[in-house]
Amino acid sequence: MATLLEKVQILVSANLHQLVDQALQSNSVAVYNYYIREIENNLDKLEDAVATVGGQVKTIRRKRDEYQAQADRLDRDIDLLLSDGKDSLAEAAQSKLNATRATVEEYTVQLAQLEREYDSLRDAKLKLEAKLATVKQEREQLQALMDLAKAKEISNKTMRSLDDLAGSRDEDVARVAEGIRQRLDKASAESEMLASSLDAQLDDALDRREIDQQLMERKRRLGLAEG
């Protein structure tokens, strides 16, 4: 279980700026797709672990409560046996009570450990789900930026071809080429505006993530959050 939680922690604390850089260098969001698959695989494992440990918590709590109820009955019975002068039976009941209380204590310790583990697993699951949502959103934004970049490259090639046509001696061809170039200029300007907006959204999402991490560290240092 510790290995799973450690791997989840690595996924949650991954540097998103580095993912962006790798995607841009390869001109592909494949690095994001791989990272998302890793998160989803570990989420499946976490969900199974949460269900397993949650079931164990309920089982141990039920057993602890059953033994506690048995101990309470024995405690009452001992008083009645002593009152009736049945010291031998009271002695045997006291011995059984001692063993039952020891069992209750063992289950209580196990229950506390399992509850801590259960809480850790659920917390890790929530963090990983949040990370997955963030990364999927950033992947879509980055894909849109890459699509715009490819469109810009095609536009540039077209513009160069139109320049060649506009430089020809045929006035009709040159006029048509100029009209197409004007339309491409407008489309290019609109693409740049959209790219700028997506860039800002991406940077804002990454900056917010870094700020959240910094504030969480401060809370831990001040004792306002669990370590």
Residue 151 confidence (pLDDT) above 50: yes
Residues 63-98: tens digit of each pLDDT: 999 999 999 999 999 999 999 899 999 999 999 999
Most confident of the following: 10-14, 162-166, 175-179 = 10-14
| Cα Rg of the chain (Å, integer) | 33
The C-alpha angle with vertex 27 and arms to 26 and 28, in degrees rounded to 5, equals 85
CA–CA distance, 138 with 206 (Å, rounded to integer): 9
Task: Say whether pTM exceeds 0.75.
Answer: no
Q: Which residues contact 202 (CB under 8 A, 6 or more apart)?
A: 20, 138, 141, 142, 145
135 CB-side CA count, 13 A: 28
Q: Whose structure tokens read 């024995």? A: 74
Residue 173 confidence (pLDDT) above 50: no
Residues 30-53: tens digit of each pLDDT: 888 888 888 899 899 999 999 999
Structure tokens at 131: 């990370």
Q: Where exactly are the structural domains of the chain?
A: 2-221
